[in-house]
Amino acid sequence: MNDQKKTNASIYADAVEVLPGGVSRNTIFHKPFPHYVAGAQGCIVTDIDGVERVDFANNMASLIHGHAYPPIVEAVIEQLRKGTAYTLATEIEVRYAQHLTSRTPSFEKIRFVNSGTEAVMSMIKTARAFTGKPKIARAEGSYNGSYDYVEVSQVSSPDNWGDLDKPNRNPLAYGTPQGVLDDVIIYPFNDVDRTIRLLDETADDIACVLVDPIPHRVGLFEATDDFIEAIYAWTRKHKTLMVFDEVITYRTNYGGAQQNYRVKPDITALGKMIGGGFPVGAFAGRSDVMKVMDPNESPLRLPHSGTFSANPITMTAGYAAMQDFDQEAVLKLNELTATAVAQVKEAIRGADVPMSISGSGSMFRLHPRTTTPTSYRKAYQGKKEKAVMMKILDHLFYKENIIMVNTGTTMFSTAITQKEVDQLSQGILNALKANRDELIEVQDDPHG
């Protein structure tokens, strides 16, 4: 880079020469160019051009206390001086494991990894090692990370999703092996009868039924009690496992979204906020299931390691973050989010547009339709809907200085106050008014 003033545009010009599309992750790509961070504090992110924005995305739900949270910064600096990773164990991984297992009754044993994707992948491999079965079942449209098996039918559309009684198994990435598709059963989220019928077809081969209790990409609505209990009963009957993806949803209660249900998962995958702003993943569950990784066992059914798993920087940051995200903090953040939802609903009424809200705990999502969807297929957005939602998000980003997740979702942090909530609801009102005609028009052809 030369001595000229750096701008978002000039940095992107360099980026496209060395990074595919100029980015390292597609989710931050923003036409005509991504915006580069100069610094961030609390809930405010300042880009290289000096524009300050309120952050309601929080790095896709991973920053529960916002940016540069002082207790995390101080704890990490202290650990940094002692080293970042060793070929030895650390006490902090034990203390943090004690903390997390104390929060959630189903967490009898826990293993740390380096991402939510890795947590889900390892959880599935654990289920296979424990049951000796090859197949998994997952919800149509759900995002469970970047792993071949959990990418199947992640973005199914009206063109390829098939009959609801037998959803198609669609690959996400070109080149996905047919064997991967054959080992995945796709079920419609919250549809008890159809799901049980689909599971029954290959009951003897299913290692686990994977459930995200509040799946973001499906529509960010909660799994019903009936659905969770039906899955649990089916897995008991067929000697398989019910496993949860709580990479995002763990924030909704002190003990995670599973706290809302009478029955508990056999294994749970975690990530995002439990790293305190650093890359992290974990999976926790029944002692007898997790024992497949125990190096004292012979034969060892699942050898499991990772160079940076449970590294002391992440463990230190995560422990500091979760200690401060105690019961009181969880309830306070959920209450503030509920206030925001009420204000946004008022904004929708004020703009007189077809828009609805789903969500739980400290997160909510906007849907460009009058009635809140209750299934993936009802929540699915066609090209016209996606286009108008992008215009709304662009308006918020460029004119209201508000950052949201690119699905129209907010993930609150404890750094957000009523002041930012007021800015959010007013900004959404302005964005909806600016796009009112297109929102009304798209209702006539939602999947166009």
CATH number at residue 45: 3.90.1150.10
Domain boundary residue, one of 289, 309, 324:
324
Tell me if 154 sits within 8 A of 140, measured CB to CB: no
Q: What is the average pLDDT across 405-415?
A: 97
pLDDT in tens, 85-144: 999 999 999 999 999 999 999 999 999 999 999 999 999 999 999 999 999 999 999 999
181 assigned to some structural domain: yes
Domain boundary residue, one of 268, 299, 324:
324
Task: Give backbone dihedrals phi and psi of 67, rounded to 5 degrees, phi first.
Answer: -95, 140
Domain boundary residue, one of 293, 324, 355:
324
* Domain region containing 164: 70-324
283 lies in the same domain as 177: yes
Residue 114 vs residues 28, 73, 296: alpha-carbon distances, Å: 20, 20, 23
Is pLDDT of 409 > 90? yes
25 assigned to some structural domain: no
Tell me if 422 sits within 8 A of 402, measured CB to CB: no
pLDDT in tens, 206-264: 999 999 999 999 999 999 999 999 999 999 999 999 999 999 999 999 999 999 999 99
247 lies in the same domain as 334: no
Tell me if 252 sits within 8 A of 246, measured CB to CB: no
**Residue positions counted in the chain:** 448
Tell me if 365 sits within 8 A of 216, measured CB to CB: yes
Beta carbons within 10 angstroms of residue 74's beta carbon: 11
d(CA 137, CA 131): 14
Total domains in the chain come to 2
Is pLDDT of 1 > 60? no
Give 257: exposed, middle or buried? Use CB within 10 Å, 0-12, 13-18, 19+.
buried
Q: How far apart are the first and last CA of the chain?
A: 44
Tell me if 387 sits within 8 A of 39, measured CB to CB: no
Average pLDDT, the chain: 96
Establish how many alpha carbons lie within 13 A of residue 34's alpha carbon, considering only the half-sphere containing its beta carbon: 19
264 assigned to some structural domain: yes
150 assigned to some structural domain: yes
- The pairing of strands 241-245 and 44-47 is unpaired
Is pLDDT of 4 > 90? no
pLDDT in tens, 57-69: 999 999 999 999 9
DSSP label of 154 = T
Tell me if 205 sits within 8 A of 135, measured CB to CB: yes
